[in-house]
Homo-oligomer: A and B are copies of this chain.
Amino acid sequence: MNNKEKLRKAGLRPTKQRMIIADILLDGINRHFTAEILQNEINSSGNSMSIATIYNCLKKFRNCGLIKQIESSKDTAIFDTNINQHHHFLDEETGELIDIENDEVNLRKLPEIPQGYLNNGVEVLIKIKKQI
């Protein structure tokens, strides 16, 4: 399925701008990125785009499940092109994130989901720090 079809399937009009971003993000490679990093990649690809459009686009892509936003206490939103359930190592010093595939983690025991709620995904974060 090409990117135009992916956008259509997600209920998004395949505009010129969304196609430029889809061509960068939806290439099957797992990446963590911020709006600013994406803007640099757009510029490097010989295109340009208003930062407002980049934010709009990221929000739409995220809401459609084309990308994920990572839970992070950094001041800049971090997105992930890996939309499968998976986990992360986090170096809190540098903010570096490293993917952990889902099958590398196994939960023996999970707590009961609160009354009236459904499980909507489990994320394991392993904080790491450089050895001295």
Contacts and interface: CB of A to CB of B under 8 A. Distances in A.
Interface of A: 69-73, 77, 87, 89-92, 98, 100, 104-111, 113-114, 116-131
Kindly report how many copies of this chain are found in the complex they form together: 2
Q: Mostly helix, strand, loop or mixed at chain A's interface?
A: strand
B129 A114 contact: no
A89 B98 CA distance: 23
Contact of A107 (B92, B108, B117): B108
A122 B120 contact: no
A111 B104 CA distance: 5
Contacts of A117: 89, 91, 128-131
A90 B113 CA distance: 11
A98 B125 contact: no
Contacts of A120: 92, 127-129
10 contacts: A69-B73, A71-B73, A71-B125, A72-B72, A73-B77, A89-B113, A106-B109, A110-B126, A118-B129, A120-B128
Contact of A118 (B104, B111, B131): B131
Contacts of A127: 119-123
For the complex of A and B, the 10 pairs showing the least CB-CB separation, nearest first, are: A106-B109, A106-B108, A104-B111, A117-B128, A120-B127, A108-B108, A121-B127, A120-B129, A123-B125, A71-B71
